[in-house]
Chain A
Amino acid sequence: MQICYRRLDDGAIIFDHRTWKTHVLTPAATIIYEALDEIRPADGGPVPNAAALALLQEDLDIETDTPSTQQLLRMLRHLGVIA
Chain B
Amino acid sequence: MRLREQPLHALSRQADRGRLYLDQGAARLRIRSSVKGFIRNLHLLYGAFPYLPADTGFADHHVELRRGRRLRALIRPQSRFRTDGQEPFEPFPLHGALPLFEWGINWSFAQRANQYILLHSGVLARADQAVIMAAPPGSGKSTLAAAMMLSGFRLLSDEFGVLDPNSGQLLPMLKPVALKNQSVDVIRAFSDQAVIGPLFIGTRKGDVAHLAPNETSTDGLHRPARPALVIFPAFEAGATLDCRLMAGEDAFAHLAFNSFNYHLLGPIGFHAVADVIAACPAYRLRFGQLEAAIEQIRSLLDEADRNTQRAAQGHPK
Contact = CB atoms under 8 A, between A and B. Distances in A.
B270 A12 contact: no
A22 B264 CA distance: 12
Interface residues on B, range: 10 to 19
Interface stretch (B90-98, B149-157, B247-255): B247-255
B278 interface: yes
A70 interface: no
A13 B249 contact: yes
Nearest to B281: A9
Contacts, number: 48
A17 B267 contact: yes
A24 B267 contact: no
B274 interface: yes
B267 A8 contact: no
Contacts of A11: 247-250
A13 B270 contact: yes
Q: Which of A10, A17, A20: most chain B CB closer than 10 A?
A: A20
B266 interface: yes
Contacts of B253: 13, 24
Contacts of B256: 22
Given A13-B252, A22-B256, A24-B253, A8 B263 contact: no
Contact of B270 (A4, A26, A27): A4
Q: Which of A4, A9, A25, A27: most chain B CB closer than 10 A?
A: A9
Given A4-B271, A6-B278, A8-B274, A25 B249 contact: yes
Interface of A: 4, 6, 8-13, 15, 17, 20, 22, 24-27
Interface of B: 247-253, 256-257, 262-263, 266-267, 270-271, 274, 277-278
